[in-house]
Amino acid sequence: MKLEGIHHISAITENGQRNVDFYVGTMGLRLVKKTVNQDAPTVYHLFFADEGGSPGSDLTFFEYPGASPGRAGAGMVHRIVWRVGSIEAIEFWATRLGELGLDTRADEGGLVFTDPEGLDHELRVSDTDDPPLTARHPEIPEKFALQGFEGVRAYSAVPDASERILESLEFERQEDAGRWEARGEGRGGWIAYDKPPEQRGVQGAGSVHHVAWASRLDEIDAWRERAAASSAQPTPIIDRFYFAAVYFREPSGVLFEISTLGPGFTVDEPLESLGEKLSLPPDFEHLRSQVEPNLRPIVNPRLSWEE
């Protein structure tokens, strides 16, 4: 039993339209689901991924209008690491982001930058055989497109405290790289821990809320039992309609989720039109008349390209 790398990463934004403009318009991801936060259904939950809405490429945001800027600290993911296919892709992105006014810097072969709300990203050339998870964009050649998640970097004052639970979840320590990898038959992803800044972390716009790891549908009960046996306090299994999920904090403080590979985003809308309308799971459909008029309109730049 192995986790299949990262399933998704969820963060917070203050402005959904600016968020869509950046992740679709600039970074070339596809908006694959426009729905609501199931724990707070008055706010958006936006999902960006590859063409198929695949786990392993799925970056999500809760929109909280008026949210103050966040700041990563101990117990929080502070950087999202993406795969690209070549050094030429790194050069492409350095040029593209620079022309669009974003500051970038080289970091041990990778390219580091922040989104408009201060969330750190890094692009690295992939050295795995995992299938690339890419989306279409008229200005981004497919060979240079983002290919899904490589890993995440988190702050921890006591990273060794996480060893027991990571081992119980079948993560493997990569001593030479200073990280822990979860690798299944189809995909892998990792988490690395860095020394935290002195300032306390603040959850807000531009901060990561949680990182989710991918489980086969029939194994999530067993993963929950393993987390509980390692002294975590996992939630019950929660039906999120597009996947099932279990949440718990690992000892370094990072909020983990284990999510199932399916049913997936096409369960309630066709692949060809993913993300074009507000999708509400059946348990929330009765709230549409109350919720939809209060959500700020979002224009997807992809629709104008396709027209």
Contact at 8 Å (CB) between 162 and 168? no
pLDDT confidence of 175, banded at 50, 70, 90? confident
CA distance 47 to 275: 8
Question: What is the pLDDT averaged over residues 10-32?
Answer: 98
Secondary structure E strands in 136-242: 149-155, 172-174, 179-183, 188-194, 208-215, 238-239
Work out the mean pLDDT of the chain and round it to a whole number.
97
Evaluate if residue 306 carries a pLDDT over 80.
no
pLDDT in tens, 67-107: 999 999 999 999 999 999 999 999 999 999 999 999 999 98
Please tell me whether the overall predicted TM-score, pTM, comes out greater than 0.95 for this model.
yes
| Other CB atoms within 10 A of residue 80 CB | 22
pLDDT in tens, 185-206: 999 999 999 999 999 999 999 9
Q: Phi/psi zone of residue 53: left (φ > 0), alpha (ψ -120 to 50 degrees), beta?
A: left
Q: How many residues does the chain have?
A: 307
